[in-house]
Amino acid sequence: MSSRGPSYGLSAQVANKLASKRDPELEADILRWIGEVLGQKLPSGAYEDILRDGQILCNVMNKLMPGCIQKINTSGGQFKMMENVNRFQEAAKKYGVPEIDVFQTVDLYEKRNIPQVTQCIMALGRTCYLHPEYQGPCLGPKPSEEHKREFTDEQLRAGEGIINLQYGSNKGATQSGQNFGNTRHM
């Protein structure tokens, strides 16, 4: 992890804004969900410290998509741990998490953008709904599904005869009653 001094000016404002985006209840829900998926109690500590080395995230992906991460580094330097995080990110994309929701490795490992990590795990939990082979717990709201509607030609022609308010109406704002610039008669 890089050693950084205190932030000042714009950097401090950005750091404060990121810190204000964190939701401790949501982070606790995510840790609870991860524990349920893994079937084990997670170690105690700060949210970002529990997830930082990527081992737990890799184990979650292996539960959701068995065998997707072949090797999980349990020891070694920071590059081995960052490699775990990178493997989780690649597996999450393959599982169906939108790339826009996936965080950067430094967001977690250097604790630069923990809300983005939370967003990624929430997206992973929502993606579980889309995989019927997974029977475990899901996280967050179920994604909406496409519901196409088919109209017959008769129904479409019937709609052509209806005058929509978008074509103009005498309801709403008009110039009647305007008295701007007039004198007030008493």
- pLDDT at 182 exceeding the cut of 90: no
Q: Is residue 176 part of a domain?
A: no
Task: State the total domains in the chain.
Answer: 1
Of 48, 104, 53, the closest CA to residue 82 belongs to: 53
Q: What is the rounded average pLDDT of the residues 7-22?
A: 72
Distance CA 1, CA 6 (A): 15
Q: Is residue 101 part of a domain?
A: yes
- pLDDT at 93 exceeding the cut of 60: yes
Q: What is the rounded average pLDDT of the residues 137-152?
A: 86
3-state DSSP of the chain? CCCCCCCCHHHHHHHHHHHHCCCHHHHHHHHHHHHHHHCCCCCCCCHHHHHCCCHHHHHHHHHHCCCCCCCCCCCCCHHHHHHHHHHHHHHHHHHCCCHHHCCCHHHHHCCCCHHHHHHHHHHHHHHHHHCCCCCCCCCCCCCCCCCCCCCCHHHHHHHHCCCCHHHCCCCCCCCCCCCCCCCCCC
Q: Is residue 138 part of a domain?
A: no
- Write the single-letter amino acid at 36: E
Q: Is residue 159 part of a domain?
A: no
Q: Which of 132-146, 151-165, 172-186 has the highest mean pLDDT?
A: 132-146
Q: What is the rounded average pLDDT of the residues 142-164?
A: 82
pLDDT of residue 23: 86
- pLDDT at 97 exceeding the cut of 80: yes
The number of beta carbons lying within 10 Å of the beta carbon of residue 80 is 14
pLDDT of residue 76: 78
Radius of gyration of the chain measured on its C-alpha atoms: 26
Q: What are the structure tokens assigned to 5, written together?
A: 């001094």
Greater pLDDT, 2 or 94: 94
Element (H, E) at 20: helix 9-20
pLDDT of residue 8: 72
Q: Is residue 68 part of a domain?
A: yes
Q: Is residue 178 part of a domain?
A: no
Q: Is residue 136 part of a domain?
A: no
pLDDT interval class at 1 (50, 70, 90): very low
Greater pLDDT, 183 or 168: 183
Q: Is residue 116 part of a domain?
A: yes
The CATH number linked to 124 is 1.10.418.10
Q: What is the rounded average pLDDT of the residues 173-179?
A: 65
User: Residue 45 is part of which domain span?
Assistant: 13-130
Least confident of 32-41, 103-112, 157-166: 157-166
pLDDT of residue 99: 94
Of 41, 121, 115, the closest CA to residue 85 belongs to: 121
Q: What is the rounded average pLDDT of the residues 90-115?
A: 92
- Write the single-letter amino acid at 133: E
